[in-house]
Structures are given as C-alpha cells and as structure tokens.
Structure 1
Amino acid sequence: MTNALFKPVFSVVMPMYNVEAYVEQAITSVLEQSYPHFELICVDDGSTDSTAEIVSRFNDPRIRYVHQKNRGLAGARNTGIGHSNGLYVAFLDSDDYWHPEKLYRHIEHFRTDPKLGCSYSASLFVDEQGVELGIGQHPKVKNISVKDIFCRNPIGNGSAPVIRRSLLIKTGRKTDFGDHYRMTYFDESLRQSEDIEYWLRLALSTGCKFEGLREGLTYYRVNASGLSANLEKQYAAWELCIEKNRALNPAFFQQWGSLARAYQLRYLARRAVQSGNKQQALKLVVDALKTDKRILKEEPGRTLITLACACLLQLPGSVYRSLEKAGMQYFSQHNKMGKI
C-alpha cells in the first residue's frame, strides 16, 4: 500500500506481461535510483507466468501493483497513468532497465527549463542477458521540431521518455469501449506504433517542447524474437497512426509525409537486416530511396550504411556478421560524437 502522506515527484509506469525473466532487474533499477521521490506503478496486463509473484517479493511502500485483463501495451500504460500522482510520469517497459541517475538527471532537466514538456535520454542496447552490445540510440536532443518527431522520433523507445503529467491530462480522451467509458492517452486500438501516434499527437496539438539528454540512461533490451516480427504489420500500424492525426494539420502531412515514410521504410530495412531477411531488407531500403530521396541528403551516412548492410547481407552469414558488428560499433561511436 502507498503511504497516504507520500506525494511522489515521479510516477514510474511499468506495464508488465509475462516478463518473469526480466521484471526483477527492471524494478531493481527503479528502486536503486539516486533520486528517491517516486512511486512505481506496476501494471500487470494479465500475465500468466510468475510476474506477479516476483513483484510481491519487493517490500517497498513506493511500489503499487495493479492487475487488469489483457489490454495491450497502450492499455497498460493508460491504466498506470490513471493511477499516477506525480508531477512527472516516466515510462519503463518491464524488459528494459535504467541507469541509477536517470530520474535525477531528468528532474534537473525539467527544473532548468519550465517550458520543457517531454524529456528523454539516449539509450544503450543490451542483449537478452543484459550485456551491453556497444551500440545504442543517440538521437537529436536540441531544437526538436514537429518534423523531427514525425520523421525521426528522437524519443526512440518506450523506456526513454519522461513527461509532465499536466500534458497527459490535457491530451487525455474519454473513450467509449461499448459497455463503459475510460480516459485514454495512448491509443488502445493500436498494438504497434502507439507511442509514435501519441508523441505526434502531443506535438501537433499542444506545441509541447521536446528535448533530450545525451547520456545513455536507458538500457533497451534487444529481443531476438522481436526482430523477426511482421514488418508489413509494423508499417501498416505506422500508416494508421499517421491517418489518425492527419486532420490536426493536413498541410504539415502534405509537406513531410513522404519523407517520414522514407525514414520509416529505412528503419524497417534495418530491422530486416538484423533478422537476416535478405530479400526484404534490400527491397525496403530501395523503397525508402524511391519514396523520398531527401533522406540521402539529410542523413547520407545512415542511409548509405543501411543500403550497404542490405547488400552485404547477401554474403555468407559469418562474414556478414563480422562486418556488421564492426560497422555498427563504428557508426555508434561516430554518431555519439555528431560526425554522422
């Protein structure tokens, strides 16, 4: 139970679904934060494994456990937001974990800029055992425009952002689920791209200021099974989230739609490369270039590396993997230094 006198600064929302292998590390990484003024809302989205039992082993009054029937990631996040009391809401997927200084760095970030609405951090990739892979997401962190949110999604993943709760309340919608109404923030009709849809809607409807931290404060777990996910479904979900927001600013989507589509195709090409899908990888990167050649002008390094990887994927597996590892490490290091 939560102490009635305890008013958290942060509400950490952690959706959980059959994550017995990872959830202990995720929770521990929150409890070990150097900034202690938080509540951790663990939303069990209908798990059938030992996730609930693992959560029950923690004896900390800041932890709140909420169970619901399975509603998907967006539904679990919405439930967590609905139970939140903090000034800021931080999201942590239960197969990822945080650096101990994450919340402290974000509260500093918000305090130095009253106009800041959403703060995020760079992310470091780890494997299924939690071992760092030497690569990560090091996005643009300053002067973020709505175009940046649309085309490049600098937030990167669901465990990187922290948002002012007041903005979530402002963008919440009373949604009809047939037999009841419920406040929603993330769109529960989407099972993929729900985060992209929300950040884009937030940027277009509120003018929210986004800004990032260069430090790798989020550890994002690369799940091998996730790499083989249906890329066509991912692309269809992305297109749907665009259609859901088009009415907010038709001229904006007319100007940047093809470029954003090209970036999304390039991203999916990298996913195809990682999963070893030779034919699809090459097709997707070629489609990206055909869709809008501006990606070659805006990000020549990333685009040419993706094209090269798709071509080199035709080589024998062991040769390709060695070249890929060396190339990704080089790319990640130079990206952090702003050279690519």
Structure 2
Amino acid sequence: MVNMSDAPFFSIIIPLYNKAHHIKSTIESALDQTFEDFEIIVVNDGSTDGSESQVQAISDERITLHTKQNQGVAFARNFGVEKARAERIVFLDADDSWYPTHLEDLKALFLEYPDCGLYCKAYYKKEGKSLNPSKYNNLPTAPNWKGIVKDYFDASIVNCVAWTSAVAMPKAVFNNLNGFDTKITMGAGEDIDLWMRAALKYPVAFHNTPTAIHHLDATNRISHSNTNLRRFINLDQYDAYAKTNKSLKKYLDYNRFAFAIQYKLAKNFEQFEAYRDKIDMSNLNNKQIFLLNSNRLTLVLFSRLKHTLNLLNIRLSAFN
C-alpha cells in the first residue's frame, strides 16, 4: 500500500518506443520545471534503437524506468498510470517538450478548479522552424485566460482543447474511465477517445497560455504508420450522445472527414466511403467538401503543399 502522504503532486507518464533522438530533451524539459514535486514514469515499450540507454544515462531519483514487451502506446500509458504514486496524472510523449512553467500552471488549474475531470494547457505546433499556437473555437483569447470550457466539442473544432502532452487528469477519473482503449492501435485516436469520454462526464478546465510543444517533424512518429494497419477509434459509439448534442455530432463528422481523407490517401476507398457516408455534409465547410470530393492525386498535391507552407510558417487548415 502506497503512503499517499509521501506521494508527489504529479506523476508524469512517458511512453517510449524508438525515440532515442528525442527522449533526452523531452525528459530534460520535465526536469527543468519550476514546480518540482513530481515523479517521472517512463514505460519503454520494447524499443530497439537504444532509447532505454538514453533514459538510464539521466541521473535523477524522480525517474523510474519500466521496460515491457511492445504492446502499443495505449497499453504503455495505462501501465504507467498503474505504477503512479500521485493522485494527479500528467502525460508527456517521448518526442514532445514543455516550457518550464507547464506543471506550475497545471497545479494552479487543479487548485482553482478541483472538481474537473480533465485539465488542459494550450500548446504550440512545431515543424521545422515554424512554431504556431493552437487555435480554438469560441474560447476567450484574452492573455492568460483560464476557466471551465463551456462546450468542449465546439471549442475543439479547429484544434482539440485536450492534446496528450498538454493535459492532466485525476488518477481516480482515469480509472473510472478505464484508461486508454488498447483496441485502438498505432496512435489512431486512443487519446481523442479518452478525452471525449472525459468531456462527456466531467467539466474540463483550460488555460490558454501555451506551455507545451508538439514536434510534428520528430522522427518515427506513430501517426505516420501505415493507415491500413491502424485500428481507429470507433466514432459510432458516440452517435447516441450526438443525437442530443449538435456540437458532438459536428466534432464526430470532422474526425470522420479526417479519417476518410487518410484512407483515400492510403488507396483504401472502401473505408473512405464508409466514413464519408456517415458524415452530415451540412457540418462541413466548403474546403472540407472540396477535399472530400477530390481525387487522390489532388489530395497528395495539397498534402505536399501544406507541408511546404508549414515549414515557411504559413498555416493552411481544412478545419477553419
């Protein structure tokens, strides 16, 4: 039995799979926090590139390393939470990073809004030298705003309010929701799924000052896995809720749009049509409808153009 009086304020969970080039700087960004009452639990999910030795080379008694057979990121995070001593869980992926005040800001959110199920910080998206803040729909833009998100799904239409390396959750809430769904594989929405379940059941607190960085050009990103080998989140399970929640229905349709485009790019036209046919087209904007009706070659060209413009700090998005 853990003596909770000796437990840290936060347990930081880092799943690790073949991120030897990134894990050291990721952990250092956690160790550099202004708020220092935490433990770091690294779950090495069967890495084969020397990632484990990179962690072992860092000397700090707050770090615990567990090495497991490769079972996927959802399993690794769930295992890390099982080992956590703190009552509050913070997630950090092995190729992302934090600014020094990240945990300090999350602590303030916990103390000011103690009854929430999800605590979120704004974040940056980094690609090359381009660093762009996440954007949200119908949320206050005043500097340093924090509060309860009135409509999580409406707010998440452009960028999701909850992003894995910028969220925290009470361990009790995580356990009540049964953690990440291990049936979803290769980063195909296991995080989105958990945040949706949390938002449907609990209030969500948010602080709009970005303190985390999503490194989109990191090597070996799981989101670059073969689309046809991934098992995506089952969006249909939320349809019953969506009948009385228009914002949720639109959020589901935006995600169906995104999955449909991925499948068309992967030449899986059967799955493309399956997602497309469940979308209420009145929920999509003109750009999305255009892309949905475009042939695969056009999508490939737009995808390459988007990547090039991102590197030039010019952001294109189909979601706004």
Query: TM class, shorter-chain normalised?
Result: 0.7 to 0.9
Q: Which sections of structure 1, spanning at least 5 residues, go unmatched?
A: 173-184
Partner residue of 1:200?
196
**Alignment check: 8 A CA contact 2:18 2:48 kept:** yes
Seen in structure 2, the aligned counterparts of structure 1 residues 30 and 253 have a Cα distance that, compared at 3 Å, is: same
Matched, 1:35 2:26: no
Please report the TM-score for the alignment, with normalisation by the length of structure 1: 0.71
2:75, 2:168 → 1: CA distance?
Answer: 18
Q: Which SS does the other structure have where 2:65 is aligned?
A: strand
2:299, 2:156 → 1: CA distance?
Answer: 32
**Alignment check: 8 A CA contact 1:123 1:137 kept:** yes
Matched, 1:221 2:204: no
Matched, 1:292 2:286: no
Matched, 1:212 2:197: no
Partner residue of 1:60?
60
**Alignment check: 8 A CA contact 2:118 2:168 kept:** yes
RMSD of the TM alignment (CA)? 4.2
Partner residue of 1:145?
151
Seen in structure 2, the aligned counterparts of structure 1 residues 152 and 251 have a Cα distance that, compared at 3 Å, is: farther
Letter in 1 for 2:106: H
Letter in 1 for 2:151: S
Q: Output aligned runs, 1:273-288, within 5 Å.
A: 277=265
Identity of aligned residues (%): 22
| Bigger mean CA deviation after superposition, 26-35 or 214-223 | 214-223
What is the CA-CA distance between 1:312 and the residue it aligns to?
10
CA displacement, residues 163-183 of structure 1 (integer Å, 9 cap, x when unaligned):
1122123334xxxxxxxxxxx
2:299, 2:316 → 1: CA distance?
Answer: 21
Q: Output aligned runs, 1:1-340, within 5 Å.
A: 6-127=6-127, 131-140=128-137, 142-145=148-151, 147-148=153-154, 154-172=160-178, 185-191=179-185, 192-204=188-200, 207-222=201-216, 223=218, 226=221, 228-231=224-227, 237-239=232-234, 242-243=236-237, 246=238, 251-255=240-244, 259-268=250-259, 277=265, 291-296=279-284, 300=285, 303=288, 313=298, 320=305, 324-325=309-310, 329=314
1:35, 1:152 → 2: CA distance?
Answer: 31
**Alignment check: 8 A CA contact 1:313 1:320 kept:** no
Q: Which SS does the other structure have where 1:122 is aligned?
A: strand
Q: Which SS does the other structure have where 1:198 is aligned?
A: helix
Aligned length: 301
Letter in 1 for 2:250: L
What is the CA-CA distance between 1:111 and the residue it aligns to?
1.4
**Alignment check: 8 A CA contact 1:124 1:132 kept:** no
What is the CA-CA distance between 1:315 and the residue it aligns to?
9.9
Whichever structure has more helix as a proportion of its residues is 1
**Alignment check: 8 A CA contact 2:46 2:69 kept:** yes
What is the CA-CA distance between 1:266 and the residue it aligns to?
3.2
What is the CA-CA distance between 1:120 and the residue it aligns to?
1.3
Please report the TM-score for the alignment, with normalisation by the length of structure 2: 0.75
1:220, 1:165 → 2: CA distance?
Answer: 24
**Alignment check: 8 A CA contact 2:120 2:163 kept:** no
Seen in structure 2, the aligned counterparts of structure 1 residues 77 and 152 have a Cα distance that, compared at 3 Å, is: farther
CA displacement, residues 193-223 of structure 1 (integer Å, 9 cap, x when unaligned):
211222233334xx21113222221111214
1:25, 1:32 → 2: CA distance?
Answer: 10
What is the CA-CA distance between 1:253 and the residue it aligns to?
3.7
CA displacement, residues 78-118 of structure 1 (integer Å, 9 cap, x when unaligned):
11101111131000010111111110111111212222221
**Alignment check: 8 A CA contact 1:149 1:203 kept:** no
